[in-house]
Amino acid sequence: MKGGGLEMGTTTSEVAKSGAAKRGAAVVDFFLRVIAIIATLGSAIAMGTTNQTLPFFTQFIRFRAKYDDLPMFTFFVVANSLVSAYLVLSLALSIFHIMRSRAHASRIVLIFFDTGMLALLTAGASAAAAIVYLAHKGNTRTNWFAICQQFNSFCERISGSLIGSFGAILILVVLILMSAVTLSRR
């Protein structure tokens, strides 16, 4: 008796409307993925092409800053490239969802990988953000000097590359939530 009321009350028009809503959500999902690809790729390239050499030098200290001088930035570039590659591959699944609105198992697989990539991207972006903050402000207690005062353009580049990454994090969160809502509709 419980199940009867749920099913018998549905009409064909309601089912068709929810199918159209699912298809619309899948199209938005596709476009958001494309934007996230551009954002992560841009971040990886912006961080990966940092290279600033100051015009003076002494015998002992090297006045050159590159992204692989700090392992956190290397991790940032690697994480962004991985997420970018994953998003390109997941475009295929996204197109599949546009064509077939009632696919369930593939949506769960997509949510699983999206959440994993969200964690990876957030870890990379926040590690880089911590180092960028340190580079700007320094820390008196641990005697860590703020290197931004010398390496201006390096600092600007690394700070700017964080923006694309954080934008992609936001987009990934929206993608996961949209997939979950689509799963819960009939």
Partner 1 sequence: MEKNGSTKIDIPETSRERKGKAPLLGGSGPGPGPAEYAKGAGYKKGIAIFDLILRISAAAAALAATATMGTTEQTLPFFTQFFQFQASYDDLPTFTFFVIAMALVSGYLVLSIPFSIVCIARPHALAPRLLLIIFDTLAVTLATSAAGASTAIVYLAHEGNSGANWLAVCQQFTDFCQKTSTAVVAGFSTVVLLIFLVVLSACALRKHY
Q: Where on the chain is the footprint of partner 1 (CB under 8 A)?
A: 1-4, 6-8, 10-13, 15-16, 19, 61-62, 64-65, 69-72, 102, 104, 107-108, 111-112, 115-116, 118-119, 122-131, 133-135, 137, 139, 141-145, 147, 169, 173, 176-177, 179-181, 183-184, 186
If the CB atoms of residues 35 and 181 are measured against partner 1, the closer one turns out to be: 181
If the CB atoms of residues 45 and 173 are measured against partner 1, the closer one turns out to be: 173
At its nearest, how many Å lie between partner 1 and the CB of residue 115? Answer: 5
If the CB atoms of residues 46 and 151 are measured against partner 1, the closer one turns out to be: 151
At its nearest, how many Å lie between partner 1 and the CB of residue 155? Answer: 11
Tally DSSP H helices, then E strands, for the chain: 5, 2
At its nearest, how many Å lie between partner 1 and the CB of residue 122? Answer: 4
If the CB atoms of residues 46 and 175 are measured against partner 1, the closer one turns out to be: 175
In our burial notation (b when 16+ CB lie closer than 10 A, e otherwise), range 101-133 reads bebeeebeebbeebeebbebbbebbbbbbebbe
For the record, the structure tokens of 83 come out as 């997420």
Residues 82, 88, 89, CA angle at the centre, nearest 5°? 90
- CA quadruple 6, 7, 10, 16: dihedral, nearest 10: 120
The answer to whether residues 173 and 29 touch, using CB atoms and an 8 Å cutoff, is no
At its nearest, how many Å lie between partner 1 and the CB of residue 87? Answer: 17
